Amino acid sequence: MVNTNLEIGVLGHEIAPRGSYFIALSHGKKQKVFGPKSPLIFEYGFTFSSQSFDFSNDKTLEKIETAEGVKTVFANNVDFQQVKRNSWNLSYFEAPIMLHFDFSGNGKVDQSLSLGVGAYAGVRIQSIMGQVGTDIEGQNLRINTTNNLNTNLFRAGLQAQVGYKKYKVTGRLDATPLFHDNAFEEETYIGSIGIGMCL
Amino acid sequence: MKKLILFTLFLLCGPLAYASTLTDSLPPITVVEDTTVAALAEEAWELSDKQQMVRSSVQVRTIIKQLENGELSQEEAQETIDSLISAIYLASASYFENYEATTTESVVDALSRDDELFDLDDFVFDLEGEQKTFVFEWHIGSNRLVRNTLRDAAAMEHVNGWLSIENRFLFSQKRRLGGYASPIQLQHGIGFSSTVFSFKNERTISKDILGGTGTGLFPIFNMNTVWASNWNYTHLNAPIMLHLDLSPKGTFNEGLNIGVGLEGRMRIASSAAYSGRDLDGDWFTRTTQSGFNTRIFNYAVLAQAGYKQVKLTGRFERIPLFKEGAFEEDVFLGSLTLGFALN
Confidence bin at B337 (pLDDT 50/70/90) = very high
Helices (H), B198-281: none
From A79, which residue of chain B is nearest by alpha-carbon distance? B209
Instruction: Judge whether A169 lies within some domain.
Output: yes
What kind and span of H or E run contains A121?
A: strand A113-134
What residues contact residue B283 under an 8 Å CB cut-off, 6+ apart? A146, A147, A148, B275, B277
Give mean pLDDT, residues B218-231.
Answer: 93
**Total domains present in chain A:** 1
Instruction: Judge whether A84 lies within some domain.
Output: no
Q: What are A72's strand-pairing partners? A: A63
Question: Which of A64, A139, A147 has the CB atom closest to B291's CB atom?
Answer: A139
CB contact under 8 A, B286 and A69: no
B5 burial type by CB count under 10 A (0-12 exposed, 13-18 middle, 19+ buried): exposed
CB contact under 8 A, B279 and A63: yes
d(CA B15, CA B27): 13
Instruction: Judge whether A29 lies within some domain.
Output: yes
Q: Helix, strand, coil % (nearest 5) of chain A?
A: 5, 65, 35
Give mean pLDDT, residues B242-263.
Answer: 92
Instruction: Judge whether A188 lies within some domain.
Output: no
Q: Which residues of B234-271 are buried (b: 16+ CB within 10 A; e: fewer)?
A: ebebbbebebebebeebebbeeebebebebebebeebb
Across the A:B interface, residue pairs with CB atoms under 8 Å apart total: 58
Confidence bin at B24 (pLDDT 50/70/90) = very low
Contact B197, B176 (CB under 8 A): no
CB contact under 8 A, A141 and B289: yes
Fold adopted by B132-342: Porin (2.40.160)
Query: In the structure, how many helices (H) and strands (E) does chain A have?
Result: 1, 10
Query: Vertex A11, ends A14 and A51: CA angle to 5°?
Result: 90
Nearest to B264 by CA among B235, B232, B242, B292: B235
* Interface with chain A: mutation pick from B227, B287, B323, B324, highest number of A CBs within 10 Å: B287
Interchain CB contact of A140 with B (< 8 Å): yes
B34-80, pLDDT tens digit by residue? 444 444 444 444 567 777 777 777 788 788 888 888 878 888 888 88
Phi, psi of B57 (to 5 degrees): -65, -35
CB contact under 8 A, B287 and A65: no
Interfacial residues of B (vs A; Cβ cutoff 8 Å): 207, 209, 212-213, 222, 278-280, 282-291, 293
Instruction: Judge whether A71 lies within some domain.
Output: no
CATH 2.40.160.20 domain position(s) in chain B: 132-342
CB contact under 8 A, A142 and B279: no
Window from A34-38, B14-18, B309-313 with minimum mean pLDDT = B14-18
Question: Which of B209, B213, B279 has the CB atom closest to A78's CB atom?
Answer: B209
**Is the pLDDT assigned to residue B124 strictly greater than 50?**
no
Instruction: Judge whether A165 lies within some domain.
Output: yes
Interchain CB contact of A70 with B (< 8 Å): yes
**Cβ contacts of B287 on chain A, cutoff 8 Å:** 143-145
B167-206, pLDDT tens digit by residue? 999 999 999 998 888 899 999 999 999 999 999 999 999 9
Which domain does A120 fall in, by range?
Answer: 10-58+89-128+149-177
B-facing residues of A in 93-132 (CB < 8 A) are: none
pTM: 0.70
Higher pLDDT, B52 or B331: B331
A160-182, pLDDT tens digit by residue? 999 999 999 999 999 999 999 98
CB contact under 8 A, A143 and B289: yes
A52-81, pLDDT tens digit by residue? 999 887 888 999 988 888 899 888 888 888
CB contact under 8 A, A145 and B286: yes
* Interface with chain B: mutation pick from A80, A136, A151, A181, highest number of B CBs within 10 Å: A136
From A146, which residue of chain B is nearest by alpha-carbon distance? B285
Instruction: Judge whether A189 lies within some domain.
Output: no
Which range has highest mean pLDDT (B41-55, B108-122, B190-204, B211-225)? B190-204
**Is the pLDDT assigned to residue B105 strictly greater than 90?**
no
From B294, which residue of chain A is nearest by alpha-carbon distance? A139
How far is C-alpha B288 from the geometric centre of its chain's CA atoms? 43
d(CA B307, CA B321): 31
Residue type, A77: N
Q: ipTM of this model?
A: 0.85
Instruction: Judge whether A133 lies within some domain.
Output: no
Share of chain A above pLDDT 70, in %: 100
